[in-house]
Amino acid sequence: MNLLWLQSAGCGGCTMSLLCAEDPNAFEALEDVGYDILWHPALSEATGAEVSGLLDRIRAGSVKLDVLCVEGSILTGPKGTGRFQMLSGTGRPMLDWTRDLAAVAETVIAVGSCAAFGGITAAGGNPAGAIGLQYSGSSVGGLMAADFRSKSGLPVVNVAGCPTHPAWVIETLMLLADGKLPADALDSFNRPRFYSDHLVHHACPKNEFYEYKASATRLSEIGCMMEHLGCVGTQAVGDCNIRPWNGEGSCTRAGYPCIACTSPDFEEPQLSFTETPKIAGIPVGLPSDMPKAWFMALASLSKAATPERIGKNAHSDRIVVSPKPRRERR
């Protein structure tokens, strides 16, 4: 299977993340299932006329394109021309190249939240007109129309994340190679359900603090960060804590709140990423699938029942009270 990777407007962080894949690494994994990487701007040796010739042949149909991966948002400025970002040496905007290549690709993948929804490059009033491949924020219809379907019959597959997890990209490509990524394997934002059916909250190491609503008030503390520090792990999709980054890391494991980077419009929160929006002292962003009244009632009971160990540890930067061993019956 032929794979072409384009880097559009963004930081290149999703490629850096992909290179962190281990056992096997990204190249070994993709080679094992039969992928041939035609070109990647950061990893391939080919440049200049060699690349522009390849792109022309793909566009003309003389070189088959099984998978088009696009990393980074598409810039539409100024005035819809896309000329804020030209593909070097071709005299054409990345906007035009992406649209043309998507039309001949069997499957199109948006790698990361910038390519999926516009992401960070769309923040701050979006002066460059950054959009995703098939979404602009949470609205369907980005570079491609809402009804766009590639030759495989799929919409743009949005492997969202900022950056995206290397295993999400590799697993998506492996499923495609095996013909096991049908349309019903994607969620309502066309993200692969193998990771978007999970919440970041699942397997979070702070779950015991969450259960008792033992909340941290500063980033250096190890309590739950939902109540005061802006964590939205109970609403954000992703299996980040089930299969940690590099085998052991995640945002919440590192003591930073989840910012829902797999979601559209995450780049424009109501407050800073480390503040929880509240009304009358009650967090606005409660778990999305739980009635507010029930949550408040359970939260009150949980706080009343908080063990001393959990309450004290929540406001420390390390465990200060260890679990007491259970006394054995004689």
Stretch among 216-230, 260-274, 286-300 having the lowest mean pLDDT: 286-300
- pLDDT score, position 164: 97
Per-residue model confidence as pLDDT tens digits over 1-58 = 999 999 999 999 999 999 999 888 999 999 999 999 999 999 999 999 999 999 999 9
| Alpha-carbon span 318 to 329, nearest angstrom | 31
Say whether 16 sits in a helix, a strand or coil.
helix
- pLDDT score, position 218: 95
- What average pLDDT does range 171-182 have in this prediction? 97
- pLDDT score, position 23: 84
The band of 284, judged by pLDDT with boundaries at 50, 70 and 90, is confident
Q: Is the dihedral of CA 184, 187, 188, 189 positive or negative?
A: negative
- What average pLDDT does range 167-186 have in this prediction? 97
The band of 329, judged by pLDDT with boundaries at 50, 70 and 90, is low
Per-residue model confidence as pLDDT tens digits over 180-235 = 999 999 999 999 999 999 999 999 999 999 999 899 999 999 999 999 999 999 99
The band of 328, judged by pLDDT with boundaries at 50, 70 and 90, is low
| Alpha-carbon span 15 to 37, nearest angstrom | 14
- pLDDT score, position 289: 67
Instruction: Mention the CATH class of domain 198-320.
Output: few secondary structures
- Read off φ and ψ for residue 70, nearest 5 degrees: -120, 125
Domain range 2-194, its CATH number among 3.40.50.700, 3.10.20.310, 3.40.640.10, 3.30.70.3400: 3.40.50.700
- pLDDT score, position 296: 72
Residues 6+ apart with CB under 8 A from 267: 118, 119, 120, 122, 123
- pLDDT score, position 294: 65
pLDDT at 288 over 80: no
- pLDDT score, position 81: 97
Distance from first CA to last CA of the chain, Å, rounded?
66
* pTM, to two decimals: 0.92
Average of per-residue pLDDT values in the chain: 93
Token duo for residue 168: 């999400």
Domain boundaries, the chain: 2-194, 198-320
Residues 6+ apart with CB under 8 A from 61: 104
Per-residue model confidence as pLDDT tens digits over 63-101 = 999 999 999 999 999 999 999 999 998 999 999 999 999
- pLDDT score, position 238: 97
